[in-house]
A and B are shown apart, each in its own frame.
Chain A
């Protein structure tokens, strides 16, 4: 069974631009969560989607948004990029939306904002 797939693997953008990251969960998994990882802040929760509905959202500005499609694939978008948005963006999937269910992470998208 294929794991969680994130594309692209690396991305370089400039301030003010916008970016869209993609995540394909493990087949059969319906929950997708997004995390931002930086050296200083660790793993910070962005949002979680289940059955195309956003179930939970972290403390990030409205420039960060996401969506989930009927096939469970998810995208996240960051508009008006800032230097501080440089980070590894990790997507994780799980079978259901049950609290405490273990997460399967993708390899992430490394975003650099210049």
Chain B
């Protein structure tokens, strides 16, 4: 299956600061999905990117898919305490049905 590497593993910010997590692969990804898991909760789907160079926004969140479809990023502008949680990227490949997850970035926000 396709391997996706995610960095950083942890990120602590002051409320109001920006945050970015990156997802990288050595192979071309057919798609990339992003999930958020609140502490004590379960992963919740945020968005899917499919096209090369695609950029999607959800309020303060901006998602990008690289031109070569080998990397993706999630950027949060002006973090809030409600943004706390672990952000995962995930991808599936070709005829392989499974969704492979990155190890996630744990975001903590100091109020």
Q: A residues touching B (Cβ–Cβ < 8 Å)?
A: 33, 35, 41-45, 48, 50, 55-56, 58, 90, 92, 97, 99-100, 102-108
Contact = CB atoms under 8 A, between A and B. Distances in A.
A22 B106 CA distance: 28
Contacts of B92: 99-100
A100 B31 contact: yes
Contacts of B35: 103
B39 interface: no
Nearest to A50: B97
Q: For chain B, what secondary structure do more than half of its interface residues adopt (helix, strand, loop), or is it mixed? A: strand
A110 to B, nearest CB: 10
Interface in B43-102: 43-45, 48, 50, 88, 90-102
A64 B22 CA distance: 32
A90 B42 contact: yes
A48 B100 CA distance: 12
